[in-house]
Amino acid sequence: MDKTERDLRTDRIISIIAIAVILFTAATSCAPKRSNTLATAGPPATITGLDPHLTAQQLNLQYDTIEQWKLPFDSLYLKESQLPDAVVYLPAPPDTTSPIFREDYRRWLWGKTIRPTQRGKQASLESLFGIVRMATIYSDVLGLTIHPQTTPAIYQFMLYVGETAHMSTIHAKQTYMRVRPFARANEQVWGEFDYDELRNDGSYPSGHTALAWATSLAMVEVAPQLQDTILRRGYQYGESRVIVGAHWQSDVYAGYLVASAAVAAMHNNPRFIAHLKAAQEEYNRLTVNRNLLTTNKNGTSFSLPHDGKILDTLLIKKDGYTERYHWAGKNKTAEEKLFAMASEEMQRSKYAFIQPDVNWAFALIASEIEPRNQDLLLRRGYDYGANSKEPTDLIQARRILASAVVASLHNNPKFTALLAKAKAYHQGLHSYSPNSLYF
């Protein structure tokens, strides 16, 4: 039997197992979403007793207390009508007969093999949703104890960013009500802080992933010297959702994209900008005597771990195909200059890039310039990789990298000045056309 026949037989076996799991699963019914309203509203800085370095058992005891002060919708950076709508700009979750679902199933099996390891323990702890786990993660990354009393500006900024991004997943979750892996397999919930009611909660997109990746993108602007470590930890938090079986891989990919779209939209909110500046000032004041580097001598930097591989094994190196974007003439518009900066930043990396990643970066920038058309612009940017013959995980890795590049560009004064100019031009003058996204 040659290799092709063996691969076909393996695929057939996997498909049969997947069908058996589906048939074995009892149908799940829709249940109301968790409330996002406060029983007693109060600013984050008044919350006490939330030590981010509590043990898992101690955090578990406080989980109900943490949940009861979730932010009310009208206090977030974006109103419901301002949130990018993932139902519009992302495709529906994959059908159970599709190749993408086959990959979802394989990743679910992979996650089960990771559970007995140290990485599996990390994934279980990262099933805790919200500001307390974010404070734990980024306290370690920043070398600060993030707490409402000691770092109120950073704490508040992370809280509002995370909750706003999470809320941007709700419409798609309720629309599709995709069944989660552990529920489809009729298993018990595995993550330490997950709860069984999740089996009646929509799986697509991943809210945990959106929370963590949005926090990472925002914190890149607070501590750019540590951007690679920040991004790695945010990415791992999403990957943990596959390991614990709470989400399919395609849910998690969607969560990263929802987060990047939400953060782009948040940049048009004055409170977001004010909180960002306060967090930056607080971080700089507390770390003024440090010499922080984004990479160390061993070359540790942001990567996308996937089946034990890093970004080098997912993306084409520079000796591969690279599509370069050029704009002729001196009288380029502000948007053209912004897009040129994004493509140049991609070219500086050691990875070749093609349309799926550079056009997702363009879409994020354009949606920030013209929020009235954000869903159409994001859809246009996403569609550029939808029909690609490249593997889905490679295309999604490119989009995730693109969102990281755009976050980093927001620390570039030239970029932010051009962005402000483009916003001023489009405000009240004309609507941005999705067809003008590509040159």
More confident residue, 277 or 23: 277
Residue 87 banded pLDDT, cuts 50, 70, 90: very high
Both structure tokens of 163: 């909750």
- Identify the residue with better confidence: 30 or 416: 416
- Tokens representing 342 are 């994004």
Q: What is the mean pLDDT of residues 314-333?
A: 46
Q: Which of 174-177's residues contact partners 24+ apart within 8 Å by CB, and which partners?
A: 174/33, 174/202, 175/87, 175/202, 176/92, 176/93, 176/202, 176/204, 177/28, 177/30, 177/202
pLDDT over 80 at 98, yes or no: yes
Both tokens assigned to 102: 């086959």
Domain residues of the chain, as ranges?
3-302, 315-439
The CA distance from 153 to 43, in Å, is: 12
Mean pLDDT of 388-407: 84
- Residue 292's pLDDT band, with cuts at 50, 70 and 90, is low
Considering the domain delimited by 3-302, tell me its CATH architecture.
Up-down Bundle (1.20)
Banded model confidence at residue 63, pLDDT cuts 50, 70, 90: very low
How many Å apart are CA 337 and CA 329, to the nearest integer? 11
Catalytic residues: 208, 241, 247, 251
Q: CA 90, CA 92: separation in Å to the nearest integer?
A: 7
Residue 260: pLDDT over 90: yes
- Nearest CA to 94 among 105, 84, 85? 105
Instruction: Quick: pLDDT tens for 39-52.
Output: 222 333 333 333 44
